[in-house]
Amino acid sequence: MGEIIEIFQTQEWAMRALIASSQVGIMCGVLGCFIVLRNMALIGDALAHAILPGVVFAFILVGYNSLAFFTGSVLAGLFTVIGITWIQHNVKTKNDAAIGIVFTAMFAIGVIGISWISRSEGVHLDLKDFLFGNVLGIKNQDLYLISGVLIYVLLSIIVFYRYLFATTFQPVIAETMGISVKFVHYFLMLLLSFAVVASLQTVGVILVVAMLITPAATALLLSDKLNWVLVISGTIGFFSAVLGLLLAIMFETPPGPAMTLTATAFYLLAALLAPKKGLIFRFFRKRKQEQKVQLEDTLKQSLKLHELGTLSFQNLLTRLGYTKAQLTKHLNTLQTRGLLERNNKQFKLSTLGIDEAQQLVRAHRLWETYLVEKIGLTGEQIHEDAEKYEHLLTEELLDEVDASLGYPSIDPHGSPIPSKKGLPSFPLSHLAVTQTATIASKQVNEQISSRLWQLGLLPNMTISILKKEETTIQLQANDQRINISSTLARQINIMPTK
Amino acid sequence: MYNTISIKGLSVSYERKRVLTNIFLELEQGKICGVIGPNGAGKSTLFKAILGLIDINVGTILINGQSIDTQRKTVVYVPQKNEVDWDFPATVFDIVLMGRYPHKKVFSRINDTDKEIALEALEEVGIAHLQERQIGELSGGQQQRVFLARALCQRADIFLLDEPFVGVDVTTEEKIIQILRKLASQNKTLLVVHHDLSNVPSYFDTVVLLNQRLIAFGDTLSTFTEENIAKTYGGQLPILHKTGMIE
């Protein structure tokens, strides 16, 4: 490390290289976000190659001069973009083919030009510098140019952020708002050619596209807000360039590839570790979901065995097909949540556990009913689908399904659909016209009990349904006719008459 | 004349294929107008023509008596949900704020007033609590509400909505129609491309029946008749017979 610091203290070229690289990193990082979001990676690559003839013509006209190279390159870049866009709009050639045709032609012209002029004596224009950059040969004049371009690019993005945002997200809407999508496109292309030209000496034609794409793609994994994506991408671009340069000096490798690989390393890190979008996070989320499904299946099968009176560890094991360790783990979780009670090796579901399990059965059977009634599937096709969806459907959605089916009481296989948690097991609404039943002494809550008392419906009173309409139910109790809403009817617990 | 769209003799064709032929339409303020017609009837093309997004071959379209270019602020377009990249790094609030863009000069910034207007719009459509969500993390109904909120945020006078009820839940559908009615009562002009024929009479004050030509236009009650619907949709069958697309 000490050696490196000494190099930067004593060698001016090293300092110039560092300043140039860091600025290029920021510039490409920020601008690259728009390139990536607009699916224009190929255009970035194309522009980089296509500016070669601009450099060559500038050299022929003016000689070795950074500003002349810059002007020539930007003109060549714009010529390329206009050529590509013209073909895309007027000739029946596919978009990416149009890009390929134009930039390779431009590059070819440039290569021929270079081989021409390098025949004369004392010419310092090397194709290799153009292809791979020559960051260690950067002059002060180049530095001023790069700084100027960086400031121009950043200011443009800040000032025209709204236009860039709108045209990138929804070009049609931007157009209806009076923003010229075409103008913004060309403006962005101008900025891109600036950035590409300014980056050539640091990373070269071949790798400049890496500085544009990789930090931007990394930032897009890390944030969901465009302004943050721009900041993060610029920061990653900065560190890729600086670290890459340091590594290049330390290990005596070419700087361009070192910067590219540093950016790639950042990308891989983000792809693995990013919150929400990273592979590791997604792996754990998937695993968590699988665990939840297994736990819920354990609970549901426990209920089935509980109803058969044969709830035991061994029976659960055969039904579920998990390993002993897995099942033990799930049973422990159920116990800590108070859904399962255990006494030595004997265990049984708690009241809470039965309630919870019944909600799963409700989800399963409601979904099966929905598939048959609304989608028109047959009995054999529905079970597996319901096995999956019983774990995914939210309570809100289930209520909507329940309502759209008219609160069914049995599923397509003829099994009863349990009521929603907190609702009676035999609600009054399930009673058909002319059937009789008695009001249960136990209601789901105090409010319902007192409401019943107000209506004159007392426990153990025999009632029968006279009429059922969409919103009201008319019933006979003793000699009285009472109208109640169907919402209330769903909350009243009844007992079948013996 | 306020909040009006006047279309005279409009014809549009793409690559020699006629899409719209000789359309005359006068849309008034304070009405919700449904645009009904089969696929390929030119409904979207009509919208694009009104919005000035495509070249028109023949005819004129005037918004409030003037060309669209001077009326951009007053006309807002709510596109179909499926035309959008939902992975885009933007939150609900970012998208709704876009509604303020037409009101901003090049160098002016989004300020607190703009943010208040955006928040108000979000509250009106009932998704203010989702303002920091990335747009891809919303349900279909919520996504449609975001676009509607953006349109409200633009404070426009003429609304063009393309299939706003496709892929949304029942509650959202009710909410949208409720907001459209409110806008109509404020004398705005609303034009809605719509697919589901069953609720046309309850949703729209007037209808445009379109199948490349204007089949009928007028009050829903007198215009949305079986005869006109048959003319709009049935007319395709003989053509398909001739080209051999159906037996």
Higher pLDDT, A34 or A378: A34
Average the pLDDT over each of A454-458, B29-33, B178-182 and give the range with the smallest value.
Answer: A454-458
CA separation for the pair A268, A92 (Å, rounded): 39
Q: Would the pLDDT of B244 be above 50?
A: no
CA separation for the pair A48, A24 (Å, rounded): 14
The pLDDT score that the predictor gives to residue A281 is: 92
Q: Would the pLDDT of B210 be above 90?
A: yes
**Which structural domain, as residue segments, surrounds residue B53?**
5-243
pLDDT (mean) for A470-483: 84
Stretch (H or E) spanning B197: none
Please report which residue ranges of chain B form alpha helices under DSSP H: 43-50, 92-97, 112-125, 140-153, 170-185, 200-203, 220-223, 226-234, 236-243
Sign of the dihedral through C-alpha A68, A72, A73, A74: positive
Q: In what order do the strands lie in the sheet with B58-63?
A: B17-27, B5-14, B58-63
Contact A173 B98 (CB under 8 A): yes
pLDDT in tens, B11-37: 998 877 888 999 999 998 899 999 999
Q: Would the pLDDT of B234 be above 80?
A: no
Considering only CB atoms, which chain A residues are within 8 Å of B69?
Answer: 178
Which domains, from first to last, does chain A contain?
2-276 (1.10.3470.10), 281-349 (1.10.10), 354-404 (1.10.60.10), 428-496 (2.30.30.90)
Asked if residue B110 lies in contact with residue B119, where contact means CB atoms within 8 angstroms, the answer is: no
CATH, residue B178 = 3.40.50.300
The pLDDT score that the predictor gives to residue B14 is: 83
Percent of chain A with pLDDT over 70: 98
Contact B75 A176 (CB under 8 A): yes
Percent of chain A with pLDDT over 90: 35
Beta bridge partners of A327: none
Q: In what order do the strands lie in the sheet with B32-36?
A: B75-78, B158-162, B189-193, B32-36, B206-211, B213-219
List the structure tokens of A335: 């116990």
Q: Closest residue of B to A33, CA-based?
A: B89
Higher pLDDT, B80 or A344: B80
Q: Would the pLDDT of A2 be above 80?
A: no
CA dihedral angle for residue B27, residue B31, residue B37, residue B42, rounded to 10 degrees: 40
Q: Would the pLDDT of A388 be above 90?
A: no
Average the pLDDT over each of A303-307, B31-35, B161-165 and give the range with the smallest value.
Answer: A303-307
Confidence of residue A463 (pLDDT cuts 50, 70, 90): confident
The pLDDT score that the predictor gives to residue B240 is: 38
Instruction: Select from A159, A177, A179 the Cβ nearest to the Cβ of B107.
Output: A159
Q: Would the pLDDT of B245 be above 60?
A: no
**Mean pLDDT taken over chain A:** 87
Q: Would the pLDDT of B246 be above 80?
A: no
Say how many CB pairs under 8 Å bridge A and B.
66
Stretch (H or E) spanning A254: none
Considering only CB atoms, which chain B residues are within 8 Å of A220?
Answer: 89
pLDDT in tens, A410-448: 888 888 888 777 667 677 877 888 888 888 877 777 778
Q: How many domains does chain B have?
A: 1
Question: Smallest CA–CA separation between B139 and chain A, in Å?
Answer: 12
Considering only CB atoms, which chain A residues are within 8 Å of B94?
Answer: 165, 225-226
Q: Which of A333, A338, A398, A342 is nearest to A368 (CA)?
A: A398
Confidence of residue A242 (pLDDT cuts 50, 70, 90): very high
Instruction: Select from B72, B76, B134 the Cβ nearest to the Cβ of A224.
Output: B134
**Mean pLDDT taken over chain B:** 88
Instruction: Name the DSSP letter for residue A432.
Output: P
Contact A176 B77 (CB under 8 A): yes
Q: Would the pLDDT of B242 be above 50?
A: no
List the structure tokens of B55: 């070249």
pLDDT in tens, B36-81: 998 888 998 999 999 999 888 889 999 988 889 888 889 999 998 8
Pairing of strands A462-468, A436-439: antiparallel
pTM assigned to the model? 0.79
